[in-house]
């Protein structure tokens, strides 16, 4: 893992060194910049040394002729195979680094090297022979890459805070991005919350030539006809592919650990890693304090994590979440760059901080729900289709009767937690509200956290006018339209891969592990594995509400305990209800006071106050809306209202290569 940055169309040495220093946490082991005034190109890199710990892996890296330069953030898991092929062609390697393999691949195949990479990466290549700068991002967006244009000049970086060091880059909120953030808790790409700063989409490259920029895809997810249907054979093949994927992701010259949540995905990774390594795996698990977890759904995560750790003899470290959340939340927002209102980011930040003294690499189960069809939204569509056949008046009557009984269940059934009742109420409301929508719009509705009707009462007239009819789900619907000829489940998985996965899950995972100078790897997004699952029939991915991840579960039978395989879905959440009503109560009352909200001019103070009061009184379950508003206000105070401080303390020296 590293941090990359650079400029095209101009060279400003002080800015380049400052941008590189701003990414210190992403790569504390080494740093360097290279620039050419003649070409108007500058490249920067902060390195976290994982493979080839010697100076041979220093970046930016050039070829022997010095006319191709690369700055690279990521890991190339099939680099041994690519290196062997390039060696056979006569390429004279000078290091053991996978970065040099990517550089050699570009020299040999040009842009065609990109789809050959089974990797996570963001990269920049200056090709002096063609006088072009190439930026590229991995297939699924595991590594971030932001850029902005100023006329014919280009700036790019792994994190927005590096771009903001240029005083000519404006600090303005994009109102349409704000609207989408309030809808989903994150901003769909390629836009960001900053007007004029964009994300390079996953699976895309950007080419800058003489001030002109073109952006296009080099790879896309496709679903070939499912010609194989034998469940037993496919499960056995999937098990073998999973084993190879995990083994590839263990390639490292430093110790590797596992983020163990107790869910199916992370448990499978730990089990397969233990097989591949032939020794105990070090695992890290988040545990809530009883008083904080009281309002959440269950404690099954921790119990299953302990079960799996015992089963495979793992060296398990439980991290009890008992932070001063008022201190942690601003740090998380600083490292995120953009507001992302998923409290799972806090879990990842804390677990990474705990793991950093002994581990530089952690394996995560991210991607499993998108690859294997594991989200509730995947089976809610089928249930909604069946409910749509029931006459509306009957549905509404049953709904009132059912929701009226939930408080009774809460009080009379032993072991039923308040958080479970709140979750059931929320999901039933969501499910029934979306029944009569067209399938694509229903999916978008099920993905939203703040409904259009709630937004209308929340926005000021000025913000509503600035939105000018902006549709929050326009990006999602465009992705649906891009795959019209496959079945609906695969269309949903395609949209998830283009939106929810890169913009939320992979973004917070990368930023929060990078904050602790840790590299996170995601074996379930291995190229071989994703290609295999894309050709699996949908009926073997999902079989009703209890049949999520069907083939994956079949593949894990005999590997994992049955309790872990067949347990219910539980998100990687955090006790935000307890936090909002406890440690963060004063912060909420201060940052979301009538005066503060009115001064910002985005939301109606009375509407925000109702959200706070209703949540505290238990009239409505609105913690995610409040969390998004609180996160947004903290973000604006940090990034919009005042300049961002790039570095705390003095960074290690940076090797500068270029004319003085």
Instruction: Name the domain boundary from 540, 572, 604.
Output: 572
The pLDDT value recorded for residue 90 is 96
Whether 196 and 256 share a structural domain:
no
Whether 207 and 294 share a structural domain:
no
The pLDDT value recorded for residue 587 is 95
Residue 469's pLDDT band, with cuts at 50, 70 and 90, is confident
Q: In this structure, is residue 644 part of a structural domain?
A: no
Residue with tokens 């970046």: 59
Whether 249 and 373 share a structural domain:
yes
> Hey, is 604 helix, strand or coil?
coil
| pLDDT, mean of residues 220-235 | 94
Beta bridge partners of 137: 122
Q: In this structure, is residue 586 part of a structural domain?
A: no
For residue 285, pLDDT over 60 is answered with: yes
Residue 416's pLDDT band, with cuts at 50, 70 and 90, is very low
The pLDDT value recorded for residue 618 is 78
Residue 660's pLDDT band, with cuts at 50, 70 and 90, is very low
For residue 384, pLDDT over 70 is answered with: yes
> Hey, is 297 helix, strand or coil?
coil
Instruction: Name the domain boundary from 519, 554, 572.
Output: 572
Q: How many domains does the chain have?
A: 2
Count of beta carbons in the 10 Å neighbourhood of residue 112: 11
The pLDDT value recorded for residue 431 is 87
**CA 328, 334, 335, 338 torsion-angle sign:** positive
Q: In this structure, is residue 504 part of a structural domain?
A: yes
By residue count, the chain amounts to 660
Whether 189 and 230 share a structural domain:
no
Q: In this structure, is residue 241 part of a structural domain?
A: yes
Percent of the chain with pLDDT over 90: 77
The residue among 449 and 592 whose pLDDT is bigger is 592
Q: What is the pLDDT of residues 9-26, one digit of tens each?
A: 999 999 999 999 999 999
- Among the residue ranges 160-169, 208-217, 394-403, the one predicted with the least confidence is 394-403
Whether 233 and 275 share a structural domain:
yes
Residue 301's pLDDT band, with cuts at 50, 70 and 90, is confident
Residue 14 sits in a domain of what CATH number?
A: 3.60.20.10
The pLDDT value recorded for residue 406 is 58
Please give the model's pTM, rounded to 2 decimal places: 0.93
Whether 476 and 525 share a structural domain:
yes
Q: What is the pLDDT of residues 62-101, one digit of tens each?
A: 999 999 999 999 999 999 999 999 999 999 999 999 999 9
| pLDDT, mean of residues 330-345 | 94
The pLDDT value recorded for residue 324 is 83
Q: In this structure, is residue 628 part of a structural domain?
A: no
The residue among 272 and 454 whose pLDDT is bigger is 272
The pLDDT value recorded for residue 413 is 47
For residue 572, pLDDT over 60 is answered with: no
Q: What is the pLDDT of residues 27-65, one digit of tens each?
A: 999 999 999 999 999 999 999 999 999 999 999 999 999
Beta strands in 308-425 (DSSP E): 315-321, 361-363
The domain in which residue 7 lies consists of 2-219+650-657
Q: What is the pLDDT of residues 478-532, one digit of tens each?
A: 999 999 999 999 999 999 999 999 999 999 999 999 999 999 999 999 999 999 9
Percent of the chain with pLDDT over 70: 91
Measured in degrees and rounded to the nearest 5, phi and psi for residue 603 equal -125, 155
- Among the residue ranges 23-37, 312-326, 337-351, the one predicted with the least confidence is 312-326
Whether 235 and 206 share a structural domain:
no
The pLDDT value recorded for residue 659 is 47
Q: In this structure, is residue 155 part of a structural domain?
A: yes
- Among the residue ranges 294-308, 449-463, 557-571, the one predicted with the least confidence is 294-308
Q: In this structure, is residue 496 part of a structural domain?
A: yes
| pLDDT, mean of residues 205-215 | 97
Whether 351 and 487 share a structural domain:
yes
For residue 657, pLDDT over 70 is answered with: no
Q: In this structure, is residue 523 part of a structural domain?
A: yes
> Hey, is 312 helix, strand or coil?
coil
The contacts found for 209-218 with CB under 8 angstroms, 24 or more apart, are 209/130, 209/131, 209/132, 209/133, 210/131, 210/152, 211/9, 211/151, 211/152, 211/153, 212/152, 213/149, 213/154, 218/111, 218/114, 218/115, 218/136
Instruction: Name the domain boundary from 554, 572, 590.
Output: 572
Whether 180 and 275 share a structural domain:
no
Burial 545-574 (b: 16+ CB within 10 A, else e): eeebbbbbbbbbeebbbeebbebebbbbbb
The pLDDT value recorded for residue 412 is 47
Residue 227 sits in a domain of what CATH number?
A: 3.40.50.620
Average pLDDT value over all residues in the chain: 91
| C-alpha span between 335 and 631 (Å, rounded) | 13
Q: What is the pLDDT of residues 109-156, one digit of tens each?
A: 999 999 999 999 999 999 999 999 999 999 999 999 999 999 999 999
| C-alpha span between 651 and 166 (Å, rounded) | 19
Whether 342 and 371 share a structural domain:
yes
> In which element (H, E) is residue 397 found?
helix 392-412
Whether 262 and 211 share a structural domain:
no
Measured in degrees and rounded to the nearest 5, phi and psi for residue 286 equal -85, 135
Whether 276 and 213 share a structural domain:
no
């Amino acid at each position: 893992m590293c941090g990359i940055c650079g400029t095209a169309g101009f060279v400003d040495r002080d800015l380049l060194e400052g941008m590189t220093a701003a990414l210190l946490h992403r790569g504390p082991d080494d740093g360097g910049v290279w620039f050419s005034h003649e070409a108007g190109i500058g490249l920067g890199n902060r390195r976290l040394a994982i493979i080839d710990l010697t100076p041979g892996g220093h970046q930016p890296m050039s070829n022997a002729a010095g006319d191709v330069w690369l700055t690279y953030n990521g890991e190339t898991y099939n680099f041994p195979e690519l290196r062997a092929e390039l060696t056979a062609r006569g390429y004279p390697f000078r290091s053991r680094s996978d970065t040099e393999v990517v550089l050699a691949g570009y020299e040999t195949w040009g842009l065609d090297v990109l789809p050959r990479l089974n990797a996570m990466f963001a990269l920049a290549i200056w090709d002096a022979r063609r006088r072009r700068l190439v930026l590229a991002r991995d297939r699924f967006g595991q590594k971030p890459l932001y850029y902005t244009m100023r006329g014919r000049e280009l700036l790019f970086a792994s994190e927005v805070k590096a771009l903001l060091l240029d005083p000519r880059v404006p600090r303005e909120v994009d109102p349409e991005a704000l609207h989408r953030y309030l809808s989903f808790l994150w901003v769909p790409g390629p836009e960001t919350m900053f007007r004029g700063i964009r994300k390079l989409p996953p699976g895309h490259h950007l080419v800058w030539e003489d001030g002109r920029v073109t952006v296009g895809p080099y790879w896309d997810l496709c679903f070939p006809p499912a010609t194989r249907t034998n469940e037993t054979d496919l499960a056995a093949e999937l098990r073998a592919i999973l084993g190879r994927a995990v083994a590839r992701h263990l390639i490292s010259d430093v110790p590797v650990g596992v983020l163990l949540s107790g869910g199916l995905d992370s448990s499978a990774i730990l089990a397969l890693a233990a097989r591949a390594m032939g020794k105990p795996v070090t695992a890290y698990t988040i545990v809530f304090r009883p008083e904080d977890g009281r309002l959440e759904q269950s404690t099954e995560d921790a119990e299953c994590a302990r079960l799996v750790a015992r089963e495979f003899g793992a060296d398990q470290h439980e991290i009890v979440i008992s932070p001063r959340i008022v201190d942690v939340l601003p740090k998380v927002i600083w490292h995120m760059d953009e507001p992302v209102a998923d409290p799972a980011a806090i879990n990842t930040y804390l677990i990474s901080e705990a793991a950093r003294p002994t581990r530089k690499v952690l394996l995560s189960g991210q991607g499993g729900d998108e690859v294997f069809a594991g989200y509730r939204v995947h089976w809610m569509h089928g249930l909604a289709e069946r409910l749509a056949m029931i006459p509306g008046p009957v549905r509404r009557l049953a709904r009132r009767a059912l929701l009226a009984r939930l408080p009774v269940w809460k009080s009379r059934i032993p072991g039923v937690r308040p958080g479970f009742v709140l979750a059931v109420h929320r999901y039933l409301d969501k499910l029934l509200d979306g029944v009569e929508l067209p399938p694509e719009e229903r999916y978008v509705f099920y993905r939203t956290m703040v409904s259009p009707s709630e937004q209308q009462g929340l926005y000021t007239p000025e913000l509503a006018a600035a939105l000018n009819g902006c549709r929050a789900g326009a990006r999602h619907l465009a992705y649906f339209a891009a795959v019209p000829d496959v079945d609906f489940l695969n269309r949903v998985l395609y949209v998830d891969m283009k939106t929810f996965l890169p913009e939320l899950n992979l973004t917070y995972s990368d930023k929060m592990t990078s904050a602790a100078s840790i590299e996170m790897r995601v074996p379930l997004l291995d190229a071989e594995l994703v290609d295999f699952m894309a050709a699996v029939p949908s009926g073997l991915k999902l079989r009703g509400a209890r049949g999520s991840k069907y083939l994956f579960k079949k593949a894990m039978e005999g590997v994992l305990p049955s309790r872990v395989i067949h347990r219910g879905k539980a998100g990687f959440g955090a006790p935000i209800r307890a936090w909002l009503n406890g440690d963060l109560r004063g912060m909420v009352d201060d940052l979301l006071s009538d005066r503060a909200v009115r001064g910002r001019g985005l939301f109606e103070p009375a509407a925000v106050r109702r959200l706070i009061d209703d949540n505290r009184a238990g009239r409505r379950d609105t913690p995610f809306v409040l969390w998004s508003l609180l996160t947004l206000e903290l973000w604006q105070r940090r990034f919009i209202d005042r300049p961002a401080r790039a570095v705390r303390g003095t960074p290690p020296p940076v090797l500068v290569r270029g004319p003085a």
